[in-house]
Structure 1
Amino acid sequence: MGRDAQHVEAPAITMGLAIQPEVLDALGRVKGADGRGLLARFLYAKPLSLVGSRNLTPALLAEEAAATYAQRLGGLTMALADWTDPAVLTLTAEADAVLLAYQKVTESRIGKGRSLHPIIKWASKRDGAVARIAGLLHLATHADNGWMVPIKAATMAAATEIGDYFTAHALEVFDAMGADPAQGAAHQLLTHLKEQRLSAFTKRELFRGLARSDFPAMTDLDPALVLLEEHGWVRQHPQPSRTGRGRPPSPRFDTHPSVTPPLTSG
C-alpha cells in the first residue's frame, strides 16, 4: 500500500488463550498452519469439562496468595525494567544433567513408530519449552536476583513434570485436530445402533431417530455410514432397480451381529 516497512527489534510475544474445543478443530483445518510450525509453538491444556459438577460457590483467592503474586511479579518487573541486555540464566551441573536426560527421552520417542512421532514437530520443541518453564519457576522463586543464582536440579525436575503434562495434552489435542470429522459422527451412529438394538434399518428410519441438531439433513449421514461400512459395522443391501415413478426406496442396512447381541437373563 506504499507504506514504509516497519521493523521490530528483538521481537517477543507471549500468548495465553482460553478457547472452545471447536476452535482447535478449526485450527487443524487451516491450510499450512501445521506445515509452518504455528501449531507446534503452543503448549496445550485440554482438561475434562466440569459442567454438571462445578463448585458454584468457590473460595476466594487468599489475600496472602494475591499479595505474594503481586509482590513477586511487580518486583521482577521493576528489577528488569532498566535492563538493555538480556539477563542470562545459568544451570547448575545437576540441572543441566536433568535437562539432558529429558532431551534423551524426547529423542528416543520421536522416531517413526514411537509414542511422540505423531506430534514430532511439537515434540521437537518441548525441550526448549521445558528449559523456559524452568527459568520461569526459578525467577518466581528468586525474583530479586534470579540472574545471579543458577537454576537448581529440583527446579529443572519440576519443569520436566510440567512438560510431561503438556505432552499428554498435546497428544490428545493433535489427535483431535487430525481426526476425520466423520469419525465422531460414526461413533455417534454406532452408539445409537447399540442403544436402540437396531439389527436392521433403513437410512430414513435411522435419520428419524436422531437429533436434527446433530444431523440436520439426511445426507449428513453418508460419510459416517460409509466409514461404518468400511469397518464392517454395517452392510448395505443392494439397491433394487427402480420401477415406475415416485421416491426411490431408502437404502437398507444390516448391522454386525456384535452390535446387537442376544439378551441374556440373569
Structure 2
Amino acid sequence: MIIKQSDMEQTGIVPFDQYELPSFPVDIFPNWLGQFVLSVSDASQTPTDASGFAALSVLSTALSKKFLIRPFTRGSWTELNNLYTVVIMPSGERKSVVHNAFVWPVIEYEKRKRKEALQDKDSDSDEDGSMPRFIADDTTPEKLIGLMKKNNERMAVLSSEGGLFEMLDGKRYTTTPNLDVYLKSYTGDYLAVDRMGRPSEVLNNPILTIGLFVQPSVLQGLPDRLADRGLFGRFLYAKPRSMRGKRDVTPKEIDEHAAQKFYASITAMMEFNPKYPIQLSLSEEAQELFLAFLKEQEESLNNDLAFDFMTSWTERLPAHLLRIASLLHAAEQFELGEDVLGDINRIISLDTIERVLGTIQYFVDHALAAFGCIKSDEELESAKYLWNVLVREGKQDYRKQYIWQKTKGKFARVERLDTAISILRQRSYLDIETDCSKPGRKALLIRLNPKAIELFDPYRSKRASVNQAERISLPKEIVKG
C-alpha cells in the first residue's frame, strides 16, 4: 500500500507532543528552481520546507489558468494547476524572509504593470481600483471576489501571516465569513453573489492560489464547519522542525546567479498569456504508473482507519499530485526565462510522475501533523485517555468492539473512538489488523506496540510493586497454617 503510516517495526513511537517528519524533497524541482530553494533556505537558515512550499505557491501564482492537465487518454478527468498551501511555523522562525524572497518577482511585475496602466490612463492614481493586481494579502471574501472580477478572475492570496484563517474562524469579524469563494476558486466553479444593498457579482471561472505561513496557534481549535465543507482538504501542509538553536549564524547571501535565474523565469511565466489554457497529458508510461497509484490509493481509503479523520484531504491527494506535476513540467519549460509559447512540450514524462509520486509520504506525514494541530486539545486528550485504558487493562490485543464497550461512556459516539484510535495508530502506539479467524463480518483487532507499552506505561511501577509483593516468601508459620 502506498499511503500508509510506517509500520511499528520500522518507525519509532512519536510522543504526543512531537512529530518526526521528513524534510521537503527539493529534488522534485527543475535545477534552476531547486538551486534557488536551497540558497534561500541556507541564507535564511530556515527549513527547506518553507522555501519549497513558497516555490510551489509562486509557480501556482504565475502559471494558474494557463495550463490544465488531463492525465488519461480515456475519460474526462481534468485538473487545474492552482494550489492551496500552508506552512506551520512558530513566531520568530524567519517566515517573512522566505516569503519576501519568493514573491519578489511577482510584486515587481505587478508594479510594472500598474505603472504601465497608469501611463495609459494618463493618471497618477488608482481611485477606481482598476489597476492590475496579482497578489492579495489581508482581504475579506467580498473584497476578494471584487479583485478577481477585475483581474481576469484570477488572484493569489500570499502571506507570511495567518490572517486568512483567523478571519474564517470568525475571530476578526462579528459575522461568519462566506467560504464559497475559497471553495469554488480551487476548482474554477461558477460563483454568483447576490446580496441586499450590493451589486450582483458573477465569476464564471475563478482561479485562486493560496500560500500562507501560519503559527500553530492559528490552526488550533478551528471550527468543524471548515472541515465539514472540505476546505482543509484543499490544502497541502508542511510542519517543519524548528531550526532554533541549530542555525549557522555566519552571515550569508542568496546566490546571485540563482536569484537572477529565478527572477527571469518567474517573470517569463507572468508574461506568458496563452489565449486558452494549454492542456497537458501524461505519457503512456506515466499513465500506467499513475493508474497503479490510484488503485492502491483507493484500497487504502477503503481499508485504512488511520485516515478517517482527514478523509477530505486523502480523497484529494491524487488531484494535489497532478497539479504539482503540471507545475513542475511547466517550470521546466521556462528554465531560460524566455517566451516559450511555441515550444511548450505538452506531454508530462514518466520521470516527472515518478518524482511527484515520491513525495507522497512527505505530504501524508505533514498533513497528519497539521491535522494534529487543527484537531482540538480535547481530541488529543481523548487519545491519551484511550491509551491509558488499554494499558491499564494489561493486554496487548483487543477487539474494537471490546474497546467500545469499555469506553463508550467517555466517547458517546463510535466516531470519536475511531479518531482516538487513528491518532494512536498514526503515532505508532498501536496497529490495526482484520481478524479473519471467524466466519461472517470481519472484526478489527487492535494490537498495542510492545515498545510503546515499555516506554509509555503509566501503570508499570504500580504493577511492578504488586508483582514484587507476590514474589515475597511467606513466613513458615503462616505457610503451615
Q: Same fold (TM over 0.5)?
A: yes
| Partner of residue 269 from structure 2, selected from 76, 90, 100 | 76
The 2-side partners of 1:17 and 1:38 are apart by 14
C-alpha change, 1:75 and 1:113, in structure 2 (3 Å) is closer
- For residue 209 of structure 2, the aligned residue among 6, 10, 14 is 14
Provide the residue aligned with 1:258 in structure 2.
461
| Matching residue within 319, 332, 335 for 1:128 | 319
Ranked by relative contact order (alpha carbons within 8 Å, sequence separation 6 or more), the top structure is 2
Where does structure 2 lack aligned partners over 5 or more consecutive residues?
Answer: 1-195, 335-339, 385-457, 466-481
1:155 Cα deviation from its structure 2 partner: 0.6
**SS in structure 1 of the partner of residue 266 of structure 2:** helix
1:43 pairs with one of 210, 216, 236: 236
Deviation for aligned residue 1:181: 3.6
In the other structure, the counterpart of 1:105 is 296
Deviation digits for residues 55-111 of structure 1 (CA, Å, limit 9, x no counterpart): 33353221111111112212222222xx23211112111121222122122212112
- The verdict on how the C-alpha distance between 1:9 and 1:159 changes in structure 2, with shifts beyond 3 A counting, is same
**Which residue, out of 351, 358, 361, partners 1:164?**
361
The structure with the largest strand share of the pair is: 2
Q: Which amino acid aligns with 2:461?
A: S
**Corresponding position of 1:230:** none
Structure 1 residues 44 and 259, CA gap change in structure 2 (3 angstroms):
farther
Q: Is the aligned partner of 1:33 residue 2:226?
A: yes
Q: In the aligned structure 1, how far is the partner of 2:345 from the partner of 2:460?
A: 70
Alignment match, 1:5: 200
Give the structure 2 partner of residue 53 of structure 1.
Answer: 246
CA distance in 1, matches of 2:198, 2:330: 41
Point out the structure with max Rg over C-alpha: 1
Judge conservation of contact 1:90–1:147 (CA < 8 Å) in 2: no
Maintained 8 Å contact 2:326/2:348: yes
Distance verdict in 2 for CA 1:185–1:259, change over 3 Å: farther
Offset of 1:159 from its aligned partner? 1.4
Aligned positions of 1:198-237 closer than 5 A: none
**Matches of 1:151 and 1:32, distance apart in 2:** 37
Residues 117, 33 of structure 1: alpha-carbon distance in 2 compared, 3 angstrom cutoff: same
Counterpart residue identity of residue 10, structure 1: N
Cα distance between partner residues in 2 of 1:164 and 1:43: 12
Report the Cα offset of residue 180 of structure 1: 3.5
User: Contact conserved, 1:99 with 1:131, CA < 8 A, in 2?
Assistant: no
Q: 1:49 offset after TM fit, Å? A: 1.4
Alignment correspondent of 2:375: 178
Tell me, in whole angstroms, the C-alpha distance in 1 between the residues paired with 2:266 and 2:325. Answer: 16
Shift of 1:128: 0.6
Match of 2:259 in 1: 66
Contact 1:45 1:169 in 2 (8 A): yes
State the Cα distance separating 1:185 from its structure 2 match: 11
Q: Does the CA-based 8 Å contact 2:279-2:346 persist in structure 1?
A: no
Task: Name the structure 1 match of 2:65.
Answer: none
Contact 1:94–1:153 under 8 Å retained in 2: yes
CA contact 2:333–2:345 (8 Å) conserved in 1? no
Secondary structure at the counterpart of residue 33 of structure 1: helix
Q: CA deviation at 1:37?
A: 0.3
Query: Number of paired residues?
Result: 191
CA distance in 2, matches of 1:108, 1:59: 48
Give the distance between the partners of 1:55 and 1:103, measured in 2 at CA.
Answer: 42
Do the aligned partners of residues 183 and 87 (structure 1) sit closer, same or farther apart at CA in structure 2, a change above 3 Å counting? Answer: closer
Moved more, 171-180 or 161-170: 171-180
Counterpart CA distance in 2 for 1:100 and 1:47 is 31
SS in structure 2 at match of 1:88: strand
RMSD of aligned C-alpha atoms?
2.7
